[in-house]
Chains A and B, each alone.
Chain A
Amino acid sequence: QKEVEQNSGPLSVPEGAIASLNCTYSDRGSQSFFWYRQYSGKSPELIMFIYSNGDKEDGRFTAQLNKASQYVSLLIRDSQPSDSATYLCAVNGPNSNSGYALNFGKGTSLLVTP
């Protein structure tokens, strides 16, 4: 079983602070790494994707990837109450049949308090 692990939380941060979400994965063959945000009762919404080691920034979001250590993280700067949601880490990579199906973690619940 190829594992993707996330702390389930809840992670509580005050408004305006940096939220740091972490994810580790077991399959060294993983090639692509995604962060999805999921509001309660809604479907996953793509926030960021990253393929290469290092940092990738998009607005208030920064994804960090370290393939040697097999972890990927998401930083949310200037956190807002509207960022309160579950954040799903997903990875994929070559698989003989499943066309790079996403392997998801269980998600980390983030609560941004006013």
Chain B
Amino acid sequence: GAGVSQSPRYKVAKRGQDVALRCDPISGHVSLFWYQQALGQGPEFLTYFQNEAQLDKSGLPSDRFFAERPEGSVSTLKIQRTQQEDSAVYLCASTLQGGTDTQYFGPGTRLTVL
């Protein structure tokens, strides 16, 4: 594939709704990261996968956030019972192996919670 893709690009949710955000990494990339970027801030780490294993979820803001990558390729970030403070751009990045490899970012999903 050409690059990291994410869908949907934009999502508007009413407070309390559940949302699911999808990330398709570059084919063959082992490591996948999710970041959250609030307006005017730099991206902040949420969670990390190596293949299908979620090795770190320390950045997830609450237990309403859940991520999975069951077959080691596509990943889904799910947010339950969305709150206004969840409004942000959610970025997915992948690297070939991990470590200090360059991370390539997808276009992001802009989530607005009303």
Given A43-B106, A106-B41, A98-B100 contact (CB < 8 Å): no
Chain A residue, CB-CB nearest to B110: A41
Report A92-114 residues with CB < 8 Å from chain B CB.
92-93, 95, 97-107
CB pair B50–A97 under 8 Å, yes or no, is no
CB pair B102–A101 under 8 Å, yes or no, is no
CB pair A107–B42 under 8 Å, yes or no, is yes
- Quick one: CB contact mask for B15-50 with A, threshold 8 Å, 1 for yes? 000000000000000010101000011111100101
Interface size class of B (residues with CB under 8 A): 20 to 34
Question: Which of B40, B56, B104, B108 sits near A101, CB closer than 8 Å?
Answer: B56
Most A C-beta atoms less than 10 A away, residue of B56, B59, B89, B98: B56
Chain B residue, CB-CB nearest to A100: B99
- How many angstroms from the CA of A99 to the CA of B58 in the assembled complex? 12
Tell which of A44-52, A54-62, A66-74 binds the partner. A44-52
- How many angstroms from the CA of A34 to the CA of B101 in the assembled complex? 11
B29 to chain A, nearest CB (A): 12
CB pair A99–B98 under 8 Å, yes or no, is yes
B65 near A: Cβ within 8 Å?
no
B48 to chain A, nearest CB (A): 5
Question: Which of B42, B45, B100, B107 sits near A43, CB closer than 8 Å?
Answer: B107
Report B48-101 residues with CB < 8 Å from chain A CB.
48, 50, 55-56, 58-59, 89, 91, 93, 98-101
CB pair B45–A98 under 8 Å, yes or no, is yes
CB pair A106–B100 under 8 Å, yes or no, is no
Given A31-B100, A106-B40, A101-B45 contact (CB < 8 Å): yes
CB pair B100–A51 under 8 Å, yes or no, is yes
CB pair A102–B43 under 8 Å, yes or no, is yes
CB pair B56–A34 under 8 Å, yes or no, is no
What residues of A have a CB within 8 angstroms of the CB of B91 in the complex? 43-44
Give the top 3 A-B pairs by smallest Cβ distance, nearest first. Answer: A104-B42, A97-B56, A32-B100
A sample of 5 inter-chain contacts (CB < 8 A) reads: A32-B100, A88-B43, A100-B100, A104-B35, A106-B41
